[in-house]
Structure 1
Amino acid sequence: MAEPIRIVVTGAAGQIAYSLLYMIARGEVFGKDQPLILHLLDIPPMVGVLEGVVMELADCALPLLREVVPTTDPLVGFKDVSAAFLVGAMPRKEGMERKDLLSANVKIFKVQGEALDKVAKKDVKVLVVGNPANTNALVCANYAPSIPRENFSAMTRLDQNRAASQIANKLGVSINEVNNIIIWGNHSSTQYPDAAQGKVLVKGEWKSIAEAVNNDAYLQGQFIETVQKRGAAVIGARKMSSAMSAAKAACDHMHDWWNGTAPGKFVSMGVFSDGSYGSPKDVVFSFPVEIKNKQWKIVEGLAISEFGKSKLNITSKELEEEKNEALSVLDSN
């Protein structure tokens, strides 16, 4: 057996973590022969709930789980971790302006960035799930200057999974027969779910999704809107936000970052922009990436339609606005 690795989940007493911790501890992310030590970080008012989560993890009798470290201290939570799932964030409350939300989250992700910088492994892989995920990842990286910026990413895999599911359902195929749908930009309602590069297996033959669906009005209208508004639709139905699907997406994201992508397949990750596809530099922007040896690389050279470019402009503008608002909060702190 390999040496155990340390993994931290923040917001560990919350809804998403409740599904996520079990998936990680079962070996679905880091491998079925990789022992784990789980660090569970949450805020002091959640200590009682956290104790219950620790009991449940023990009662699951998971062979890979060597130790559980529940804590409210970021310096304990991030100590020597190889991967971090930053799930805990201030949720948007009714009537809350975006600047207020960013302000509350800047404080959280500043503390976490500083702790990562001090005590985490320098090759730690940091996945930000808590919203606004792209800008939270930017802030966190800002306060962890000793960790390479490419080790921070924001989750848009849930949006990719939602998009693939919509196409699979429309065409009556299995989800693993749909590939390379892209989520561009921000994990928000301005994101651009792009099926134009995607492929689908129909009767033993890989075809473009555009050809298989044969309905541009759907792909440029209802499909995009459904994916953009899916989170709100889940809240409307469940009276709570997407938790099980968000946990699954976090596992998918980290699994591929850790283990790599298959040749010819790409996945969507919010990563620091180098200006590819006309995106603004130095924001965390969702691109299609290929992953090898735990390193992601933006897929270059994809043809973007005029329609696609107009969508990219909208989400780029929002990310620049968020970045500027977050930086103004940082400057005033």
Structure 2
Amino acid sequence: MKEPVRVTVTGAAGQICYSLLFRIASGEMLGKDQPVILNLLEITPALKVCEAVAMELNDCAFPLVKDVVVTDDPAVAFKDAKIGLMVGAKPRGPGMERKDLIADNGKIFSSLGKVIDDVADKDIRICVVGNPANTNAYILAANAPSINQRNITALTRLDHNRAIYQLAEKSGSDIADVKKMTIWGNHSVTQVPDISFTEINGANAADKVDATWAKEEFIPTVAKRGAAVIAARGASSAASAANAILDHMRDWCLGSESGDWVSMAVPSDGSYGVEKGLIYSYPVVCKDGDYEIVQALEVSDFIKGKMVESETELKEERDTVSDLL
């Protein structure tokens, strides 16, 4: 039996985590042979609910779960953690500007970054989910300089999965036949879902759908899908977000499917002209617990223009929180 991996999850009493934690405990994220210790971090008012979640986890008697720790102390939650799932964040309220949300959550992630820098495993793998995810990851990284900076990422896998569904539905294809979907940029309405390199059963996907649809319907539908879910159910995506977190971490830790790639928001190394250091979504291939950005893709002028718009938004968000960096 392998040594247990300590997995820290923030916002652990929330809806996303209620869909997430039990699947981690069953081995869906790190494998059916990998024991885990679950550290559940919550704000003090939500501790009682979090303790109830821990009770349910224990009552499932998952063989892989070696311990469940409930705490409101980040220093306890992140001590020696090797996986950090940053789900908790202040939600956007009525009348709140995006810049206000960035400022409020920026303070949270600045504080957490300092704690992680002090107590976490230096090779901890982090997936930031709480919005604005890319900029929160950027803030966290700036405040955790001793942590492996490549390992601080943000979630765009939900956008990736949404895009696959939209393309499969439009083309009348099976989801399993869709490969090499790409999400560029920020996890926001400026994101760039791109089917230029996508394959359906090995054939170019762009040949199977109308070009106007791909530009004028597909991109905004994927980019605004989260808002559509909120309008329909009165709450943000939960189960689909949890599923995307599992996909993101499983592929990163265990390897992505051969002949395919996935979308992850990772620190830019300058690829495709994006400013170095920004947390920007790229197509990546995961192998041996690491990832590499897919190189040498011939990006169209249309897509490149939208990629620049998303990069500009990320720069503006960074400038908004400059005092936290």
TM-score range, shorter chain: over 0.9
Moved more, 273-282 or 39-48: 273-282
Structure 1 residue 174 displacement after superposition: 2.0
Structure 1 residue 171 displacement after superposition: 2.1
Specify the alignment match of 2:205 in structure 1: 209
Alpha-carbon separation, structure 2, partners of 1:110 and 1:2: 33
Q: Which of 274, 283, 290 is the aligned partner of 1:288?
A: 283
Structure 1 residue 168 displacement after superposition: 1.2
Describe how 1:31-70 pairs up with structure 2 within 5 A.
Answer: 31-70=31-70
Moved more, 168-177 or 101-110: 168-177
Q: CA-to-partner distance for each residue in 1:144-203, whole Å, 9 max, x for gaps?
A: 1111110100000000000001111122222111011100000000000001110011xx
Q: CA-to-partner distance for each residue in 1:95-124, whole Å, 9 max, x for gaps?
A: 112221111111111121111111111111
Alpha-carbon separation, structure 2, partners of 1:106 and 1:310: 28
Alpha-carbon separation, structure 2, partners of 1:45 and 1:58: 22
Residue 119 in structure 1 maps to residue 148 in structure 2: no
Alpha-carbon separation, structure 2, partners of 1:119 and 1:43: 19
The percent identity for this pair of structures is 52
Alpha-carbon separation, structure 1, partners of 2:12 and 2:205: 38
Q: Which of 218, 224, 229 is the aligned partner of 2:213?
A: 218
Backbone CA RMSD of aligned residues: 1.0
Residue 310 in structure 1 maps to residue 305 in structure 2: yes
Give structure 2 stretches of 5+ with no counterpart. Answer: none
What is the TM-score normalised by the length of structure 1?
0.96
Matched residue of 2:22: which SS? helix
Structure 1 residue 60 displacement after superposition: 1.8
Moved more, 272-281 or 295-304: 272-281
Alpha-carbon separation, structure 1, partners of 2:180 and 2:249: 17
Specify the alignment match of 2:233 in structure 1: 238
Specify the alignment match of 2:30 in structure 1: 30
Residue 102 in structure 1 maps to residue 102 in structure 2: yes
Letter in 1 for 2:43: I
Specify the alignment match of 1:14 in structure 2: 14
Alpha-carbon separation, structure 1, partners of 2:229 and 2:97: 22
Residue 330 in structure 1 maps to residue 299 in structure 2: no
Structure 1 residue 93 displacement after superposition: 1.0
Alpha-carbon separation, structure 2, partners of 1:313 and 1:192: 10
Moved more, 88-97 or 13-22: 88-97
Matched residue of 2:153: which SS? strand
Specify the alignment match of 1:177 in structure 2: 177
What is the TM-score normalised by the length of structure 2?
0.98
